[in-house]
Amino acid sequence: MHAARGRRHPGGSPPPIRPSRRSLMLGAGLLPLTLAGCGSDPTISDDPDELVMWYWDRSASPELLEQATEQIPGTEKQLRADTIGTNFDTKLRTSLAGDAYIPDITYINSNNALYFTNENLFLDLGELGADAVKDDYYEWKWNLGMTPSGRFCFFPLDIGPTGYFFRQDVFEEAGLPSTPEEVSSAISTWEDWIALGVELKGGADSFLINDAQAVFESFLNSSPERYFDTDDNALYLQPDSAVRQAWDTAVAAVEAGVTARIPRDRATDQNAAWSSGRTAGQIGAAWWTQVLEETAPDTAGLWRLASQPVRAGNSGGSFAALPHTCKDPEAALAFIMWINSPENQAAAYRDVQLFPSTPGSFEELSYEGDFYGEQDPLEFFSSAAETVPESFISTYETMIGGSFSLEITNVETSGKDPEAAWDDAIAQSERVLIKRGVLS
């Protein structure tokens, strides 16, 4: 892959990857400009000792970045960290498509599966020696960074183990079990969880969760099986697939009336429901603790965490990757490994509350605060992280997942018949997959 670093000149022999764009441009004969076209640079900085990284605010410890700006430990290079806010993927993709001004290091969100089909644009970090630190990381997270062909392109940053957040005061009011231990054992299956929701509705006129989509996704996020396996087999089409079970669970929650029917796109309403106690719970990831503390500080001390039904899942959590044009892959990897060491991830948690992907970090961390009463969310989520199952997120899942979310929301908000909705989601998915050339 290092060969791809060299600048391709228009008119030269077709490069191994993506001849399409430039040949299209030249073929169209539209650009006399290409004559002068050796001007652009595949990397951003001209300085051979400067590595440019793209990240977004609060996804790295500012202090550590500062340190790397002076010198990346163990190398002769310096880091330049550029914040990219919204539209991160659009910016990264445009650079990769344009083959110009590509960062040497880039962060990628939990949607890294989107990049699997173009894995050739990223370096295999395993080849570069990343495996040496593999054992420091949660195995399931490490494996999420692996492409289906077995290349390790996405290095773990943070993780998002999930649990059931609930309002202890509302549960008490409804006369329900209300300590974390009691609730955890009362909701060990999804059926029990929904049954508890019915009692909550009756006792306190409050909802178990805001929307059916959250139920559907939380179920899948805690399932070892998702839409596809690594060989691109469509698991979701099989009878009693995990996707179907997740669907049935979400439908059961809707039919039992335990969802508040506030779809995700209405963030203001969702927040208001949690602050007012109209909705008394949420299946959320570790990073949601911080969101809740900042958006609903009036409810401090009222929230608790219970283990969600069956087992914990994972929602969110980012990666670091090296584009194929990276100036100095060794130094870049050294930086990634350094900033994500257990010690530095602990520092990042203290600085910007990034939840560590290295179990070792927790030895150095302690939670201070009483938003969750006596309960320690750090302890809760670090032990939840141990039970997150191995799973595989396919690129194709990103193409069809939306159909299922859309249809489950239809069932919830407009009373669409669940079977008809399921059939529509399946049909829509099939159409999309055929169009994208996944199915024939």
Closest approach, Cβ 437 to other proteins, in A, equals 6
**In this complex, which beta carbon is closest to other proteins, that of residue 239 or of residue 414?**
414
Residue 373 token pair: 């009463």
Instruction: Give CA–CA dist 69/81, Å, rounded.
Output: 8
**In this complex, which beta carbon is closest to other proteins, that of residue 308 or of residue 395?**
395
CA distances (Å), origin 275, targets 167, 272, 373 = 10, 5, 17
**In this complex, which beta carbon is closest to other proteins, that of residue 241 or of residue 271?**
271
Residue 73 token pair: 């430990």
Closest approach, Cβ 115 to other proteins, in A, equals 8
CA distances (Å), origin 190, targets 159, 187, 203, 206, 415 = 24, 7, 20, 18, 22
Between helices 329-339 and 342-352, what is the axis angle to 10°? 60
Place of tokens 């004559």: 35
Asked if 354 contacts 154 with a C-beta cutoff of 8 angstroms, the reply is no
**In this complex, which beta carbon is closest to other proteins, that of residue 193 or of residue 216?**
216
**In this complex, which beta carbon is closest to other proteins, that of residue 154 or of residue 193?**
154
Closest approach, Cβ 263 to other proteins, in A, equals 6
Instruction: Give CA–CA dist 318/157, Å, rounded.
Output: 5
Closest approach, Cβ 104 to other proteins, in A, equals 12
Closest approach, Cβ 28 to other proteins, in A, equals 5
**In this complex, which beta carbon is closest to other proteins, that of residue 190 or of residue 319?**
319
Instruction: Fill in the amino acid letter for 291.
Output: V
CA atoms within 13 A on the CB side of 12: 9
**In this complex, which beta carbon is closest to other proteins, that of residue 207 or of residue 219?**
207
Q: Where are the beta strands (DSSP E) in 252-343?
A: 281-285, 303-306, 319-321
Determine which helix (DSSP H) or strand (DSSP E) holds 277, and give its type and residue range.
none
Closest approach, Cβ 224 to other proteins, in A, equals 25
Burial 23-43 (b: 16+ CB within 10 A, else e): eeeeeeeeeeeeeeeeeeebb
DSSP line for 325-380: T-S-HHHHHHHHHHHTSHHHHHHHHHHH-PPBSSGGGGGG------TTTT--HHHH
The one-character DSSP state at 178 is -
Closest approach, Cβ 329 to other proteins, in A, equals 20
**In this complex, which beta carbon is closest to other proteins, that of residue 183 or of residue 400?**
400
Question: Strands across the sheet with 281-285, in order?
Answer: 281-285, 162-167, 303-306
**In this complex, which beta carbon is closest to other proteins, that of residue 193 or of residue 303?**
303
Closest approach, Cβ 379 to other proteins, in A, equals 20
Instruction: Give CA–CA dist 377/381, Å, rounded.
Output: 6
Closest approach, Cβ 15 to other proteins, in A, equals 11
